[in-house]
Structure 1
Amino acid sequence: MTITVLDSYTAMKEILRAPVGDREGMLRSMLESIAGMYRYFPGEVDLVAFHRQAAGFPIDRDEERCLDALETMAAAGAWERMQQALDAAAAVLVDATPGFSVPDITVLLVLGDPGDANFMGPSLGVTGFGGISGYITIPFWPYPENLERLESTAVHELNHNLRYSPGGVVWDPMTVTVGEHVVGEGLADAFARQLYGDLGYTRIGVPTLHDDAAFAKVVTGLGITGMQNFSAWVHGDTIAEHLGVTPVGLPTGAGYSAGNRLVDAYLAATGKTAAQALHVDSAEIIATALG
């Protein structure tokens, strides 16, 4: 098992300094390393279009702002810290799940778009995509709070990656529930907290950790299927509306805070660590937590 954190710092700096007409081709070349992440998508995937949809850095504006942000990340040792954190976290997860074969993983830390109001505002300048085995991407803006949580953000996504890798939990788009998504976020946060304490909480979920009304509302939706509905239940109304999803009456990050509460209750009841619970069925976690 090898985890490779790509040298996107060098690639992004070259892209942002290149003539505007050359940047799209250079960006596409950088993104080829993670093309396998889209292997389940129908038809040919436009990597640059997905980059834009995921609030990746722009290639036609904000060059100096982005270059400054890159230097801030480099000065903080972002890429080196991420590599060290992922290697250490993978060892913990492997030790806790005997017999599980961890895949090779390619990781892309990519600068986010400072002109994307949703990314910079409600999403707090960081998102992550780790659910496709073998690939992790993290769009990132170096707010001080995000730099402080860099390691925990990375291992959160690693937890997703190994939960849904072969030999783990199967994410079937036809039958997967809000409950699986919520529990998955809770498990990933719990694992990050196992390693980094309270820095392991995903930032958007922190304000509602003790919001009993939000928790109760999320619980009513745990059995819902249809992935198009999930954002409203997990990310909350504001982000859901940005994505064109019908809101359900939840504050930002409610699914994350609910997931933490469910998982913490399960871990307390069973005495397991978050790492040991990596592949536990979400229905078992929910039943134990709410029992």
Structure 2
Amino acid sequence: MTINVLNTSHGMSTVLAADEANRPELLRSMLAPMQNMFRYFPGEVDLVQMHARSFGFPLNRRTDEVRAALKLLQSADAWIRIEGALADAVEVQKLAIPGIQIPDITFLLVLGDPDDGYFMGPARGFSGNGSATGFISFTLWPTTENLERLEAAAVHELNHNLRYAPGGVIWDPKMVAVGELIVSEGLADAFSRQLYGPAGYTPIGVPHLSSETVFEKVVSGLDVQGMQHFTAWVHGDEAASRFGTDPVGVPTGAGYAVGNRLVDAYLAATGKSAAEALHAPAAELVRVALNPS
């Protein structure tokens, strides 16, 4: 397997240095290796439009500020750190499950939009996607929190990639239940915590880790089916409103908090590590977590 962390340090520098009229095509070229990440979408995705819809950095405003943010990423050795974290995590996973199939992985790191209120507010300047096996993307603003968590966040998304790789859990966006989505986030955080301790918690979920009200609410929706429910049940009401889906009455990051609790209960009951539990069926994990005796 190969890990290809795209050189978006150079790519973003090129886009930001170009005349504004030329930036979209330069960005499209930089993003081209990620095209197959959107294979589950109907029709061909325009990568520049997807970039804009996914909190990507603006092409026609605040250019000096985005350039300064890029320098922060470069100073933090973001690309080198991410590549090293992914390689180390793959070795941990291979030891836990000998013979596991590890896909080739293409990794995209881009800056986000400092004018997007949801992205910079409830989302804390970070958006990660590792659900399409073979591809991982980060869109972030280089806050201290996000720079400190680069490795932990990369390993979280890697866990999603490996769970749904060939030989693992079958991914069906039409039929996937909220329970699988919640469990997958809990497993990804647990794997990240196995390597990086508390930094492995997804920050937006931390405030709700001990809330029984949040736990009971999210558990009540575990049987809801369809990927279209991911945003509302995992990211919460503010994200649902931002993306035009119906809120279900949960706070930001609730799904991560509940996923962590379910997975931790399962690991405690079975004695497994997070890496060993990579392919645990969601229904079985939830059953054991809710009835540990």
Q: TM class, shorter-chain normalised?
A: over 0.9
Q: Give the equivalent residue in structure 2 for 1:53.
A: 53
Q: Percent identity?
A: 57
SS of corresponding position for 1:108? strand
Tell me what 2:192 maps to.
192
Larger mean CA deviation between 233-242 and 33-42 belongs to 33-42
Q: C-alpha displacement at 1:41, in angstroms?
A: 2.0
Partner residue of 1:178?
178
Find out whether 1:109 has 2:121 as its counterpart.
Answer: no
Q: Alignment partner of 2:276: what SS?
A: helix
**Distance (Å, rounded) in 2 between the aligned partners of 1:253 and 1:131:** 17
Q: Is the 8 A contact 2:155 2:192 kept in 1?
A: yes
Q: Which residue of 1 aligns with 2:91?
A: 91
Paired with 2:145 and 2:44, the residues of 1 have a C-alpha distance of 37
Q: CA deviation at 1:245?
A: 1.2
Structure 1 runs (4+) greater than 3 angstroms displaced? none
Mapped to 2, the partners of 1:287 and 1:267 lie a distance apart of 12
Unaligned runs of 5+ in 1: none
**C-alpha separation between the residues in 1 aligned to 2:175 and 2:228?**
12
Partner of 1:226 in structure 2?
226
The answer to whether the 8 A contact 2:175-2:227 is kept is no
Where structure 2 has 5 or more consecutive residues not aligned to the other structure, the ranges are none
* Partner-residue secondary structure (3-state), 2:106: strand
Query: Number of paired residues?
Result: 291
TM-score (norm 1): 0.99
How large is the RMSD of aligned CA atoms in angstroms?
A: 0.8
Per the TM alignment, residue 47 of structure 1 is displaced from its structure 2 partner at its CA by 0.7
Q: How far 1:174 moved relative to its partner?
A: 2.4
Please give the alpha-carbon distance, in whole angstroms, between the structure 1 residues aligned to 2:190 and 2:14: 37
**Residue 276 of structure 2: aligned partner:** 276
- SS of the residue 2:170 aligns to: coil
1:96 to partner: Cα distance: 1.1
SS at match of 2:56: coil
Q: Secondary structure at the match of 1:127?
A: strand
CA distance in 2, matches of 1:95, 1:62: 46
SS of corresponding position for 1:276: coil
Alignment match, 1:11: 11
Which runs of structure 2 are paired with 1:13-52 in the superposition (5 Å)? 13-52=13-52
Matched, 1:242 2:208: no
Distance in 2 between residues matched to 1:57 and 1:274, nearest whole Å: 34
TM-score, reference length from structure 2? 0.98
Quote the offset at 1:37 in angstroms: 0.6
Q: Which amino acid aligns with 1:77?
A: D
Cα contact 2:269–2:288 (8 A) shared by 1:
yes
1:132 corresponding residue in structure 2? 132
